[in-house]
Structure formats: structure tokens, C-alpha cells
Amino acid sequence: MANKKERKEKKIPRFNIKKCNSCVICIDSCPVDCLSMSVASSGIPNHKYPNLLNQAICTGCGSCAEDCPTDAVMMVNP
């Protein structure tokens, strides 16, 4: 179990809807399946984007951000 310091340092992904092209690569990259696609309120028909289902499960590994082809994922402090 993570100690207090590790929990404090863990970053989580934040998604830039405007940059996201709905490719779902980040969904496939996540080793713990804690991302899912949602309908975006961007005005673009059928535009979906990822969101973090469970912050507690996310390990902060950064794979989703590394693999995103459009640079739409930033790792940030929760």
C-alpha cells in the first residue's frame, strides 16, 4: 500500500478535449483499465474523449500521456 508521501507525489492524467481525436490509444495503454470514453460536450458530433474512472486505481504510470499521438494528456497533481 502506498504511503502518504507516495500518494502525494502520484500524478493523474488530465485530458485536453480540444486536442483529443478519440483514437482510444490511451485506453489500450492503461495497464489497470481505469480509463473509459465519454461523449464530449465539444459540439463535434460523436466526439468522445477519455476520463479517469477511478483515481485510486490509477498508478500514475504516465503510459496514457506517453502514448497519446496528439499530446492531449497531461500528468498533473490531483
Give me the residues that bind ligand SF4 (CB under 6 A), please.
13, 15, 20-26, 29-30, 32, 34-35, 49-50, 52, 58-64, 68, 70, 72-73
In the bound complex, what is the minimum distance in angstroms from residue 3's beta carbon to ligand SF4? 19
d(CA 24, CA 27): 5
Q: With contact defined as beta carbons under 8 Å apart, do 72 and 51 qualify?
A: no
Instruction: Kindly tell me which of 42 and 70 has the beta carbon lying closer to ligand SF4.
Output: 70
Among the listed residues 3, 6, 24, the one whose alpha carbon sits nearest the alpha carbon of residue 78: 6
In the bound complex, what is the minimum distance in angstroms from residue 56's beta carbon to ligand SF4? 11
In the bound complex, what is the minimum distance in angstroms from residue 1's beta carbon to ligand SF4? 16
Query: How far, rounded to the nearest angstrom, does the alpha carbon of residue 59 sit from its chain's CA centroid?
Result: 11
